[in-house]
Amino acid sequence: MRYAQLHSHLEGSLKLDFIECSWENRVEVYNWFGSKKRTVEDLLACLNQYGDRTDFFSEIRVDYQGNLTDYSFSKELLKEFRRLPSIYSLRRQNCPLEDTSTIIQLFNDGLICGVDFTGREYGNPPSKFYKVMGKLEYENIPYTYHLGEQSGDEELIQLLKFNPRRIGHGLSISEKNIGLILEKGIHIEVCLTSNIYTKRASLHNHPVLLLYERGCSFSLNEDDSVFFNTNIVNEYAILKSILPEADLDKVYEDTFKASFSSLS
């Protein structure tokens, strides 16, 4: 069996012994990463540690923790680490709404393969980021958008006024709006264990059932493997338990076809 994923966050995927936290204290993991502004050396150590565990294809999201618009910081970091395709995470709650110059430079230098809108959905509807999305599309920079963990149909329709290549989670996808997803050929990054753990969906009513039935392109993903105590092999097994007829090779192929790194 071959495995691939597109939705994995660096800060939620570090080995517990690396950050000296225990499974029982996962909140420490989050605090460890979010507690201070990271140096290039800190982030390099994290990226190298992540790279060590990767025996499957993965795109990794990196959050720069306050260094968001610092081109020299990001460049210094990313040029040192080429083993994994990196996606630039933009936290919605502190996303620069005008200045996309750092992202454009990093992309044009081949240091990132795409962009991810993440963080708080409440108070940050897609319409707030139309300008940023417009600039990314103008520059032909692919982006994905975390959607549906805390929002519904209205936000999905707002987002689909633009053209994200992929949607993370996509828990607001339903019979009502899946036609638009199919029409636009958007790939969905499904995170089963994460959604169950955060109680956003159950396996019996998870949108992956609809995505599969309607032939929508989707991948299976860890999201934050340490927080949710999962791995990509487990995610594939869970899909097989709810959809025994699912062709996992097709999921693997669709994942590769939707990868940002394959576009460049």
Residue 227 C-beta: closest distance to Zn ion, Å: 10
Which residues sit opposite 9 in a β-bridge? Answer: 61
Strand, coil or helix: 98: coil
The CA distance from 216 to 194, in Å, is 20
Residue corresponding to tokens 């576009």: 263
Query: Smallest distance from the beta carbon of 221 to Zn ion, in angstroms?
Result: 8
The CA distance from 13 to 231, in Å, is 10
**121 forms part of the interface with Zn ion (CB under 5 A):** no
* Nearest CB to Zn ion, comparing residues 101 and 229: 229
Site string for Zn ion, 143-182 (x = CB under 5 A): ----------------------------------------
Position 57, amino acid: F
**Which CB sits closer to Zn ion, 1 or 5?**
5
* Contacts of Zn ion in 199-238 (CB under 5 A): 223
What is the distance between the alpha carbons of residues 36 and 176, in angstroms, rounded to a whole number?
Answer: 43
**How far is residue 23's CA from residue 21's CA, in Å, rounded to a whole number?**
7
- Other CB atoms within 10 A of residue 78 CB: 21
189 binds Zn ion (CB under 5 A): no
Q: Report the distance separating Cα 58 and Cα 261, nearest Å.
A: 10
For residues 40 and 167, which CB has a smaller minimum distance to Zn ion in the complex? 167
121 or 254: CB nearest Zn ion: 121
Least distance in Å: CB of 146 to Zn ion? Answer: 6
Closer residue to Zn ion (CB): 224 or 254: 224
The binding site for Zn ion (CB under 5 A) comprises: 223
